[in-house]
Amino acid sequence: MTTEQNTANLGSMSRQRRRWLIAVSGVLALAAIGYGAYWGLALRYQEFTDDAYVAGNVVQITPQISGTVVAIGADNTQFVQAGQPVVQLDRADAKVALDQAEAQLARTVREVRNLFSTSAQLAATLQVREADLATATEDLARRERLANSGAISGEELQHARDAYRAAQAAVLSARQQLAANRARVDGTSVDNHPDVQNAAATVRAAYLAYARTSLPAPVSGFVAQRSVQLGQRVNPGTPLLAIVPLDQVWVDANFKEPQLASMRVGQAVSLTADLYGHSVTYRGSIVGFNAGTGSAFALLPAQNATGNWIKIVQRVPVRIALKPAELSAHPLQIGLSMKAQVDTHDRGGARLPQLAQNVPTYSTDVFGAPDELADQRVRQIIALNRPAAPAEARRKEIPTDTTAMNRLATVRVIPAIHLVPVGRPM
């Protein structure tokens, strides 16, 4: 091969290498420009973490009274509806206490009725004593006129004076007895008399203790962490089992400190679960930031003031709400791993807004029914032990002042009262 041919070949290879270098450089430049554009338009507004886990409420079932477990209505992995009994305690002792409280309420109602009836009786007695006093007054006046003319003896006049003083004392005694009895019933009725209210409170307490032998599920969810056993003697506050409402779960994503600067409440979040992989994407939103880093609330907080300090980038839990429809289609369980990617395009608003609300975040009404039933039972017992024509209604016809009492001319007859037996407890 001649020198000219070698030179030509070398020149051709040099031109070809130069073209390849230009092409590769162009591709790299285009890739860099494309990546830069993608970063500037989208990637710099994305914050990603795979340190995210499903969280939720774990509702503990604890008794409010002591008792022996006689039935367990659900076991681990089973689903229960809100209000469904999950644990039943022996109610024999509570039933006895309830019967005693109801009997005492019935007895108290009858005693208070007797107080109202006694007031009417004492008022009638006062009228009789006043009539006797009026008679003694007239007799004394007549005898004093006759004594001046010598028609009667001094002894008879003295007897008239003694009878007058005795009648006065009888009237005073009757008035005091009526005042003392009325002091126990003034301004009240059978329903709101203090003795009846005290007995009614005892019935309510006994009824609540009786109702609390059945432990309902506060929420609908799956049973977990069951530790209670049949025949076990439990005390108030003893954890028996837990109920997890999986339709109310959320995600706690732990982002690094530098990632938090551009994150705001309400920003959209795309999430994937290791359970379903990338085939299922959840669309959530940020609802709040924890008040401190995870290490600040750890069981053993970091001692950064010690001499062997090493700087570690901290993470802050960010709560992300999930859509109920997506949870229903692809259920999640507490503790599952998630990947979260936050879109930070919208950075308006405060980084830590003071979000407050005036309604309860969580509530249940399964414990309100016993209160209403207890009130109904109290009203029923009072009604069963009241007269057809309440004595306190007649009491209004009896004046309270002494002057009006002196003007009473007739005695109202109190009709006979038929006593209704105490009703049996529900």
Residue 28 in this model has a pLDDT that exceeds 80: yes
Residue 5 in this model has a pLDDT that exceeds 80: no
**Is the model more confident about 365 or about 336?**
336
- Using DSSP, state whether 82 is helix, strand or coil: coil
Residue 263 in contact with residue 274, Cβ under 8 Å?
A: no
Mean pLDDT of the chain: 81
Domains detected in the chain: 59-89+219-244 (2.40.50.100), 93-209+379-406 (no CATH)
**Residue pLDDT, tens place only, 50-99:** 999 999 999 999 999 999 999 999 999 999 999 999 999 999 999 999 99
Mean pLDDT, to the nearest integer, of 117-135?
76
pLDDT at residue number 398: 35
Spell out the residues 6+ positions from residue 346 whose beta carbon is closer than 8 angstroms to its own. 264, 266, 267
**Residue pLDDT, tens place only, 280-336:** 999 999 999 999 998 888 888 887 887 778 888 899 999 999 999 999 999 999 999
pLDDT at residue number 38: 61
Mean pLDDT, to the nearest integer, of 379-396?
64
- Using DSSP, state whether 323 is helix, strand or coil: coil
Q: How confident is the model at residue 249 (pLDDT cuts 50, 70, 90)?
A: very high
pLDDT at residue number 326: 94
pTM > 0.85: yes or no: no
Percent of the chain with pLDDT over 90: 41
- Using DSSP, state whether 264 is helix, strand or coil: coil
Mean pLDDT, to the nearest integer, of 162-174?
78
- The least confident of 152-156, 222-226, 309-313 is 152-156
pLDDT at residue number 399: 39
Sheet holding 233-234, edge to edge: 214-216, 85-89, 67-72, 233-234
pLDDT at residue number 149: 67
Residue 236 in this model has a pLDDT that exceeds 90: yes
If 0-12 CB within 10 Å is exposed, 13-18 middle and 19+ buried, where does residue 411 land?
Answer: middle
Residue 262 in this model has a pLDDT that exceeds 70: yes
**Is the model more confident about 11 or about 106?**
106
- The least confident of 101-110, 317-326, 349-358 is 349-358
pLDDT at residue number 180: 67
Q: Identity (one letter) of the amino acid at 187? A: G
Q: How confident is the model at residue 6 (pLDDT cuts 50, 70, 90)?
A: low
Alpha-carbon span 369 to 347, nearest angstrom:
47
Residue 119 in this model has a pLDDT that exceeds 80: no
Percent of the chain with pLDDT over 70: 82
Mean pLDDT, to the nearest integer, of 145-166?
73
- Helical axes 369-384 vs 92-149, angle rounded to 10°: 40
